[in-house]
Structure 1
């Protein structure tokens, strides 16, 4: 359905009274926080082809945060404490997305603790967002591939509730069943820090891999039909997950460590191991995280350097996109969360405010298709990397 969404103008929590039922925050007036959108230039024939493909393909983002952050970053802590993330219905209605894995993470999971990731916080966030979705008609919470295809056919957006780590389950494996019952269909193994399942990416210097409990959790996720995503896990943990899982494994928002040597990205053997499960690697565009030597100022061109590297390494059937974008000041959010760039390569010390061409989900997916058309990819390959590869994985994991 592309950008022809069936949207009636609903805004998040419109069923309540701002200032009485909840504290209002100032958000940006339009999807682009940093001025005018940036569009990949095409001639008229290619632009027509890109628009047609955006309408025809089932476009699925492996990783986004499809809600607004406050306009002023000094309000983020109060915003998180209130526990009411505002889904960006209006911006999603302008996008070409048919489905988005919408990841709950510790940027908002801080209602009860500065450290986040408490069980009560995750349940609160899932329930609050679900309550709001029930009050509108554009977004549906996807629990099956049929929901994604229905969204495409009816001009809606299917949101897949997903959680970026398993810290909150502690040593309670049955909490995975609870999360599944609440609609969660994708789970991260760790979120940077290590947990009971395994070593997080931030602890790669003491990489113990997946624990015995972690093995049981992966097996339970397979039985439930939850997509397993070790994006923020250590290399050994990811390799162990690939060895244990009977279902395909994904890296929903990653890139090639060969192009940018940081712990957040993956070396070739890890990327190959994920592909060998039948899985897919989603290329991200979070600020600083996938710059490249050829494009050190992080833009859509550096993102696509990682895309083409992974494509060449494991093949077109095992790569897609998980831009990991949001509606707001993403770089400012990283600063608020204490992201440390001191260990990044010297060539990536360039200052920038946002990722040009992929500032938010709306812009990113408009430009992804246009870039692929500009570079001469076939219609079939564009269908694969914008959603077809992900749907193939879901046919195994969810069915």
Structure 2
């Protein structure tokens, strides 16, 4: 047996005991875009290779034990339209869980995650991607929490009224007064503050405000790949004091510098053909494929992602890193990490680099479970002394 085969066998053994908690999967949005939520048409109980990055068999093959399903809606959606679309996304996740009770278990707490693991089911949690989903309403934030949303990414690709995005021009300079109130209310209700997609100024303001550990559900290291979606070292250095977790993503345009440059040109090409640059419909993918024929895509690999994890472990420490693949939310994936069955290849790469079983158990399972449990503990403490906030954007930022 070769070393590579031995590492892969060992990776699968490790994942059987300490499965992956993945921080971000956009399957609900893919089901909306490709099938209009027709779960018979795109049935994840069947092999969806070629249509989706995700199905139940490949989740099993990948050693996934818990998944934060993203209930993302585009930041071009605004107001009540964004809220309604988010509710539709939540409903999609609930339908998936109800259709596949032998495979998926609804999870709201760290204890639920552990129970799912003991039962051999995949703990299914939800994360909202972008504060536009609450339409500047703390009551709507609380409603999402009641429906089971366990983190909210403060922005997506565009600024909102109270927070700056990493991929937009500076607006309020990080978090506004209302933005800080959103963070405090998230702490009170036990919803994790997700700092993927936000500007570095927003990251710092959130860390200055929060009383609970934060999450980066799908972001890698800016020192390894200089993209604004990645985390600067000075922010990674703050995670030990905060207790949070940064979950490295697999998206080539965030992890490989050559892919950053290629993607900028590919996005321009998509827009020139009348498509949103994040569109993954069949027609949009044909445009991507035609562009790639004339300009080959730079290839990221499992080793590319491992480079980020090595750096993040060095800067933030082993207790503060995790994995957030962003499957079904990206047109391209790394070699060896083509879909959700690929996690063993990443773990095998880390084993080859000398990562210990103890370190890998923290990376895949323990860190994420600990952070959710810590948010629950903070919520109980705050709820005993602080009632719901009814502050408004106009009151605090007007």
TM-score range normalised by the length of the shorter chain? 0.7 to 0.9
Give the CA RMSD over aligned residues. 2.8
Question: How is 1:63-82 mapped onto 2 (pairs within 5 angstroms)?
Answer: 63-66=24-27, 69=30, 77=33, 79=34, 82=36
CA contact (8 A) 2:204 2:235 kept: yes
Among 154, 160, 165, which residue is 1:195 paired with?
160
Contact 1:291 1:299 in 2 (8 A): no
Deviations 1:107-164 (A, max 9, x none): 6x99xx6999611110112113313321322111210112211221222111111111
Say whether 1:323 aligns with 2:325: yes
Report the Cα distance in structure 2 between the residues aligned to 1:91 and 1:52, rounded to whole angstroms. 16
Decide whether aligned partners of structure 1 residues 98 and 213 sit closer, same or farther in structure 2, where only a CA change above 3 A counts.
same
Report the 3-state secondary structure (helix = DSSP H, G, I; strand = E; otherwise coil) of the residue aligned with 1:102: strand
Query: Given that residues 201 and 233 in structure 1 are in contact (C-alpha distance below 8 angstroms), is that contact kept between their aligned partners in structure 2?
Result: yes
Q: Could you tell me which residue of structure 2 aligns to residue 266 of structure 1?
A: 231
- TM-score, length-scaled by structure 2: 0.74
CA contact (8 A) 1:280 1:320 kept: yes
Q: Quote the residue 1:51 is aligned against.
A: 12
Displacement after TM superposition at 1:298 (Å): 1.6
Counterpart-to-counterpart distance in 1, 2:134 and 2:97 = 25
Contact persistence 2:159–2:171 (CA under 8 A): no
Closer/same/farther in 2, CA of residues 394 and 240 from structure 1, 3 Å limit: same
Q: Is the 8 A contact 1:99 1:157 kept in 2?
A: yes
In 2, Cα distance between the equivalents of 1:251 and 1:221?
15
- From 336, 339, 349, the equivalent of 1:357 is 336
Given the alignment of the two structures, is residue 166 of structure 1 paired with residue 131 of structure 2, yes or no? Answer: yes
Map residues 81-120 of structure 1 onto 2, 5 A cutoff.
82-84=36-38, 87=44, 88-106=55-73, 118-120=82-84
Q: Which moved more, 1:288-297 or 1:130-139?
A: 288-297
User: What are the residue-to-residue correspondences of 1:343-354 with 2, within 5 Å?
Assistant: 354=333
Q: Contact 1:84–1:125 at 8 Å: present in 2 too?
A: no
Question: Structure 1: 5+ residue runs without aligned partners?
Answer: 1-40, 71-75, 332-352
State how far apart, in whole Å, the 1-side matches of 2:190 and 2:169 are.
28
Moved more, 285-294 or 222-231: 285-294
Distance change >3 Å, CA 229–CA 304, structure 1 → 2: same
Deviation at 1:290, TM superposition (A): 0.6
Task: Give the structure 2 partner of residue 299 of structure 1.
Answer: 301
1:355 is paired with a residue whose SS is: coil
Q: Do residues 236 (structure 1) and 214 (structure 2) align?
A: no
**Aligned match of 1:394:** 372
* Structure 2 equivalent of residue 130 of structure 1: 94
Question: Is residue 256 of structure 1 aligned with residue 221 of structure 2?
Answer: yes
Looking at structure 1, the residues matched to 350 and 58 of structure 2 have their Cα atoms a distance apart, in angstroms, of 23
Q: Deviations over 1:331-367 (max 9, x none)?
A: 2xxxxxxxxxxxxxxxxxxxxx54101112221x221
Q: Which moved more, 1:275-284 or 1:235-244?
A: 275-284
Q: Which structure has the highest helix share of the two?
A: 2
The structural deviation recorded for 1:299 is 1.5
Equivalent residue for 1:7? none
C-alpha separation in 2, matches of 1:263 and 1:252 = 15
CA distance in structure 2 between the partners assigned to 1:117 and 1:165 by the alignment: 14
Q: CA deviation at 1:69?
A: 4.1
2:109 counterpart residue number: 144
Aligned pair in 2 of structure 1 residues 358, 43: CA closer, same or farther (>3 Å)? closer
Q: TM-score, normalised by structure 1?
A: 0.74
Match of 2:313 among 311, 314, 318: 311
Residue 186 (structure 1) aligned with residue 151 (structure 2): yes
Residue 188 of structure 2: aligned partner: 223
Q: Displacement of 1:68 after TM fit?
A: 8.7
Question: Are 2:221 and 2:230, in contact at CA under 8 Å, matched by a contact in 1?
Answer: yes
Cα 1:117–1:261 change in 2 (3 A) is farther
SS of the residue aligned with 1:310?
helix
Give the structure 2 partner of residue 3 of structure 1: none
Between the two proteins, the alignment pairs up a number of residues equal to 325
